[in-house]
Structure 1
């Protein structure tokens, strides 16, 4: 057996349903996202451990930052989720592609009830939201001096999609964190939750509250106010 044949046998093969290949565009996947999905999944089930992003970057001819971006796009499109698995008694983070198959099942069901396959809808608001999300990631990475992890990207997405914090409010929380030299999302999350408890839902409301509190402090002879009560946090809590 020659070297190529041995390598083909030892490397194994990746099985993928033709239904995925035939409908990945309708699912909203780009070609790069499909290739990444194939490289990550390979012989695994729908749930896989966190892959080696450096190796993936080399295989796809992209940077690690671009690989993280593709992972986030899959999460934002609800084609993948971050999950936690118990391995040898320890909880290990990984990726779960179950949402992709759920969405595929719904797509096929719609196709069977319609004479014409549904066409992707171009939504300007979705494109704007995606650009806003990427802008937040860039701001955080610039201030933190490092690339965000997929879990951190998911946290920011939850702020936007589940908590409905505005990008302006998140940026203001980032500013407060930087001023206090605390470069992590846990601290920002506590700031955002504190503002929410005070019913401060916009950046303008936070700024007004800060001005009013500063004015009140000066009238009472206190000059050391630094903004709306920001929760204390252990600086080593990363």
Structure 2
């Protein structure tokens, strides 16, 4: 093993969350503060919880005083804090704690997901408004717009389910939100919550109707009376009535 490989193994690795790398600036962290965090994290991963400021300063090309100022700024911005730990029989020890930074990151991710869901819902809402207006051939009234919003926000119908209900309504030439609402309620009572479940239910109903029609047709055929068949020109005496 050459010396470089030995140094790699000896110094170890520093693990940094990808989410933090992607969003540290959105958390209010400057590039310099992030570099300081990386330096501290590299020492923490090696078991050094409170590296010397002059060591950090040398690594990133700042003065010792600048590092002090940056650390105080990070504390003021709630990106980190310094904890003092006192264990029995040992001297008090300080350590850098970045719990607040990760709490900010967690909140940022949660907020970003909520905003993404809200945006997706708003887009779906607008799309559904436009599709219904197009199929009905008229603008929707304020009450109708509110009804559709309730389907999404209160009843929590998925947009694709509402679109399927619209398709059923158009095929039935109903062009009414009340008709759509009855369809949605019927599916809800049957616990049909996906397009696949709705299609399966439709196939079963169609098969049942086909079986019923076939059974009725067969019954009518069996109920027909026996009618004697005569060849044209035959003497009816040869076929006495029963």
TM-score if structure 1 supplies the norm length?
0.45
- Higher RCO, 1 or 2 (CA under 8 Å, sep at least 6)? 1
The structure with the larger Rg is 2
TM-score if structure 2 supplies the norm length?
0.44
